[in-house]
Chain A
Amino acid sequence: MYYNEMFNGDQVREAYAHLSGWVEQMPADFRQMKQAEAEALFRRIGITFAVYGEGGDPDRLIPFDMMPRVFTQSEWRRLERGIKQRAKALNAFLHDVYSRGEIVRAGRIPARLVYQNEAYEKAVVGFVPPRGVYSHIIGIDLVRTGRDDFYVLEDNCRTPSGVSYMLENREIMMRMFPELFRGNRIEPVDGYPDLLRRTLESVAPKKCQGRPRVVILTPGHFNSAYYEHSFLANLMGVELVEGPDLFVEGEFVFMRTTEGPKRVDVIYRRIDDAFIDPLTFRRDSMLGVPGLMDVYRSGGVSICSAPGAGVADDKAIYTFVPEMVRFYLGEEPILKNVETWTLWKEDDYKYVMDNLGDLVVKEVHGSGGYGMLVGPRSTKAEIEKFRGLIEKKPHNYIAQPTLSLSTCPTFVEDGIAPRHVDLRPFCLCGERIELVPGGLTRVALKEGSLVVNSSQGGGVKDTWVLSE
């Protein structure tokens, strides 16, 4: 049976006590009216984008569910400790593999997985960014299977998106249901932009003088996450720049302004490594800034997250994160990994091939619910097709058991029904490691579906943390 976040049998769980009365008293047409109002608000604000990496129409609206997902204070504190611990270990790992590589030398992680990883960036070997932080914004995808059981599905160490949903979902809920917020003590999330700005300022390069000038680097307004980029720039009060707005001269990076060149100290980039600097990476790219990497390596500018940070977040490295926590921090991991079989190991390969129908198989570099097989929900033909793919490139796949994702009450066509959810909190790493009490809850709107990605019919809901 799935863990139901709201009910324990007939009993309403503590976190949802206030909400259940609200739902019961709600007339049916009231909900439909409010739903239409919410959608109109989203459209008006212009939140119409797909979560990065999922593709799809940038003008599409992701369905918003008005039923919030709730955590008690004690549940959240534990999650928070686990997330910070993991973020700390991931950054320690990045620091290590770009310098001495002790974890590899100690035989705890195979050298091949690190040094032959597509995301491993030789251009930054030996360079230590300010405060030793490589990944400054880490989105950790979590699922829950029981009262105390949280599993990490995935770490996103490059440019995780979706934080604008966290903020806008809250904004819309507060606008539509102020009475809910009066009656419940819900911790605010709107400190996020300030926290992000302080985090970015705290990793300014050595050569920075005075207050650091931070910018967000976007691939441009055709990108599906452009709304989020401009939204964050707006809330932080920083410039949103595209590659051609920046240029390198001497030891520094400047942006072109109507008053002439202005020096830039910290770049929160929302473009991929390959496009950062055409002189170092892809020559055909117009998105980046020629010469940027030289300035970065000589301490003239900070790039967040650091090029090469992606080596910490693919699905092959994922299996070793608990090991990182033990190795670097000498602690036991608070958050569990999902049991994972790696198909390049002989024993694992055999087990997976024998049990394909019960497992979830994912591509190592895949994302967004593409390139995966959900065994128990697939036809025989689909399973056999995947078997063929795996035989050709076993090292390209991992497999996991089908998790019993928790469900959360969700508004559906004819009332309220349980639907599976996951959670992406956003952890910020700079001078301190911090996160706001909340995150992005994604919900699989199709009955029985375990896939919450917006490209696969997923929606979003507000995430509450109740204060004591």
Chain B
Amino acid sequence: MLSRTASNLFWLGRHMERAETASRLFEVGARITLLPNTTEGYQNEWESLLRASAASQLYHQAYDALTEENMEKFMIFDRSNPSSVASCIYNARESGRIVRTALTSRVWDALNVAWQEIRAMEAGQEDAADLADMVARHASTVQGAIDGTQLRNDGFHFMKLGYALERADSTARILDVKYFVLLPRVEFVGSGLDSYQWQVILRALSAHRSFHWAYGEDVSAGRVAHFLILNGEAPRSLITSVQEALWHLETLVRRYGDMVPHTARDRAQALADRMNALNVDDIFDEGLHEFLTDFIIEIGQVASCVQADYFHGRG
């Protein structure tokens, strides 16, 4: 497969997943602001969201006030924000257009419809929950079309690899929002507010019911962290995402044989081994934020190795 084709398929997956993350993050923000929790009002929550998604600077260059309206514009519709839902869906569709020959018509159709719909929507017509639903629906349709119709060849694995690595990154970032929200007032830890915020995060990941199936107990920091980081049954947990990425990389290594470098597989394997050896206490000892920061950097390294192994084409 052409390196450029593989790269576009990989980014198609990453951008679709990133679109979903942007809408989930926005939903987290919108819900957290429903409870007045600090003396500063909801300014703090939106700011924490921007910091977790590494978009604070960009936002403040373009907008004056931190309001829900502005945030919605910025995170959902603003094409000058490369991580907005609209930008991500546009980029995913553009990648798809470039590799039309590698996509089934169903996948193309789903991408195209998603873009048409987001383009037709005017900011402010829908409330946050509707927006998130719409994005989640399109994201599911595209994924369903990929899973249901694409040939299980290398192109498929590159797409799914993009999804898996992006999901690892995004779950880590959504978890990190919690850290930033709590940063100024450590005394809230363990309070009713604390558990409300964890619930919001579970909800944003469509995981609060799964959490209860898995643990059957009240929401607590330790259990949520375990669920979203180390539970191999949780579909969006860090460990699940890493395992999936590893599986796709292993399949590629098997397909291509020894002539093709496999630094990405090796790096993902090392990360998976490290995750398997961890427990929640280790993570809290290290510090949740520090752990997540390291994890995000490590995922970035795996992605760079994918680039070097497959997209460069050597020569």
Contacts and interface: CB of A to CB of B under 8 A. Distances in A.
Q: Do A and B bind each other?
A: yes
B314 A256 contact: yes
Contacts of A382: none
B100 interface: yes
B310 A258 contact: yes
A161 interface: no
Contacts of A260: 259-260, 313-315
6 closest residue pairs by CB, A with B: A256-B313, A256-B3, A261-B315, A258-B310, A234-B101, A258-B6
A245 B108 contact: no
B2 interface: yes
Contacts of A230: 100-101
Nearest to B158: A258
A261 B314 contact: yes
Contact of B101 (A233, A245, A256, A259): A233
Contacts of B94: 221
Interface of B: 1-6, 94, 97-98, 100-101, 108-109, 112, 154, 158, 252, 256, 259-260, 310-315
Interface of A: 44, 46, 221, 230, 233-234, 239-242, 244-245, 247, 249, 254-261
Given A241-B2, A242-B4, A244-B4, A256 B260 contact: no
Contacts of A247: 315
7 contacts: A230-B100, A240-B101, A247-B315, A257-B313, A258-B154, A259-B1, A259-B260
Contact of B3 (A44, A245, A249): A245
B73 to A, nearest CB: 26
A256 B97 contact: no
Interface centre among A234, A245, A259 (most CB of B within 10 A): A259
Nearest to A227: B100
Contact of B2 (A44, A245, A249): A245
A327 B96 CA distance: 51
Q: Is the interface of B mostly helix, strand, loop or mixed?
A: helix
A217 B226 CA distance: 51
A450 B33 CA distance: 66
Contact of A256 (B252, B259, B312): B312
Contacts of B5: 239
Interface centre among A249, A255, A260, A261 (most CB of B within 10 A): A260
B312 A257 contact: no
A261 B2 CA distance: 9
Nearest to B155: A258
A107 B311 CA distance: 55
Given A46-B108, A245-B2, A256 B315 contact: yes
A46 B100 contact: yes
Interface centre among A254, A258, A259 (most CB of B within 10 A): A258
Contacts of B259: 259-260
A255 B256 contact: no
A256 B256 CA distance: 14
Nearest to B310: A258
Contact of B313 (A46, A239, A261): A261
Contacts of A244: 4
A260 to B, nearest CB: 6
B2 A257 contact: yes
A241 B100 CA distance: 13
Contacts of A256: 2-4, 312-315
B4 A245 contact: yes
Contacts of A239: 2, 5
Nearest to A235: B101
Interface centre among A46, A241, A242 (most CB of B within 10 A): A46
A58 to B, nearest CB: 11
Contacts of A255: 2, 313
Interface centre among B1, B101, B112, B311 (most CB of A within 10 A): B101
Interface centre among A234, A257, A260 (most CB of B within 10 A): A257
A258 B256 contact: yes
A259 B258 CA distance: 10
